[in-house]
Structure 1
Amino acid sequence: MAQKTVLIVYAHQSPGSFNAAVRDVAIEELREQGYRVLVSDLYAMKFRAEATRDDITGDLKNSELFQYGDETMHAWKKGKLSDDIVAEHRKVEEAELIIFQFPLYWFSVPAIMKGWMDRVLTQGFAFSLEQMYDTGIFKDKKAMLSFTTGAIQTMFRPDGINGDINVSLWPIQNGTLHFCGFQVLAPQIFWSPAHCPLTVRTAMLDGWRERLKGLLEEQPLTFAPCELFDLSFKGGFMMWPEVRKEKEALPFGLTTGHHLGKPLPPDNQISAQSTKESGAKADCKK
């Protein structure tokens, strides 16, 4: 059987951080299971976050009006992308699973990781309007977020001051990862490790190690399948009227994003049936 590959895209400045410890547990456990583990340590690589003209070698398709998406797609087809993007493309192509490891910054990923997504998930290579969401280019690959928060878990509940974590995660998990076709595994959330005692941080890492033992066999999160929508410009990529009518009879919305004015489906963005709850929900109180 061919060796499977996992790519960890890692963004933290300090080798002594809890994020580094989480990364190291993943590397160790996955390698013990026989996986080949690749790591893109973005700060160590000095990975450039800005999506600019420098991402293209040679002449532009349209030198009068620079449009990043069109130009990088053209450059990808012609083999004219910058070396750092090409190197990351190869890692993505080889990986069955991509783990994004980071501290939550302003309800999102750090700028350097957002730059990785902007530059590496190139149009044509990672997505197109003909191949998106559950019919996307990476539909046979899995991806997940693994991150730390500064806030305690209760602050990210629907009645907490930060609001529902499911809403915060929707743009990244659906709008980026699932849009490119990835099967998105439930996130691994480490709630406020900086405010936790050593025993709790150790328990968090132990829970993560345990989850990793069956990670690639987990069921992905649930998203709305493309067949529910009229995928044409004429139809506006809107839900078919008969589908909407059917869904309106349900007590909850279809997904966090497709709520149809109803209550959000509980934990739509943070849990799946086979998720190991012990690791994902480790928490400490002040």
Structure 2
Amino acid sequence: MIQLTNLNKTFGQNIAVSNMNMTLTEGKVMGLIGQNGAGKTTTFRMLLNFIKPTSGTITWNGQPITQNDKQHIGFLPEERGLYQKRTVEEQILYFAELHGMKRSDARIALKDWMKRLDVVGKVSDKVQSLSKGNAQKVQMIASLIFEPSLLILDEPFSGLDPVNTNLMMDEIIRLRDNGAMIIFSSHDMNNVTKISDDLTMLKRGKIVLQGPVQNIREQLGRTRVYVESSTSSAALKAIDGVTSVTPHGVGYDLILSEEEAGHRVFDLVTKNGYIPAFSQQPPTLDDIFRQEVAIHD
């Protein structure tokens, strides 16, 4: 377990992280979200000991993070850092050895990873010959090949198509299921929802929301409804507790002022019997993100 306790980081007069408390647990994924400049990358850099906190502590199982601990940390930076004129194999073997892996084991594992992430290219290819997406997958391999105990991913899916995003997600989930602690940042709330067990939302360096993803969504109530019905938009808007009605495909998205309004919507749209679809859900993370940003501006 890794604990960040009363963590603060300032750069001159600028407060990058303010009184942060966070726990990373074995076998769990923490999604770290926030606008640009919210403090996500600064948090990662403190975890990696690239920069020192102004105050507060970071501990791994109750002790300061040691040099030996660092060998068990995988890191994928937002600014990709592969050597363009070196081959895939040269770089991966180098990073694997830095993390205590035998060269012979890393060479065998690399071939398996190339297949699992569907990298288009050979281990003997220079990185500069790879597409951006394949180079990104190679950097992911460098972060994962030694099976880290802590994995830090800064915008790991940026620029990837949906198929390759799912390949990367599968490996993150596999590592989580094998007991790793994982923290990652993303601006895509759908990706955060898919693989995060817990969520921390930052606003100007301060935590504004934290907890299990589903708990955060549920505590705001089931105030979103999707319905497919012959009922008119005007009739839906007239229901007490319905604050907005937006066309969505063959149906409508409704926002409710209170969860109980869903009963009134359901009663109206089903008064003549069967309808193709009715779903009442809590707000999405994207909804919550926009709401919290507006509240704290």
- Shared fold (TM-score, shorter chain, > 0.5): no
TM-score normalised to structure 1 length = 0.33
**Larger relative contact order, structure 1 or 2 (CA cutoff 8 Å, min sep 6):** 2
TM-score normalised to structure 2 length = 0.32
Indicate the structure with greater strand content: 2
Structure with max Cα Rg? 2
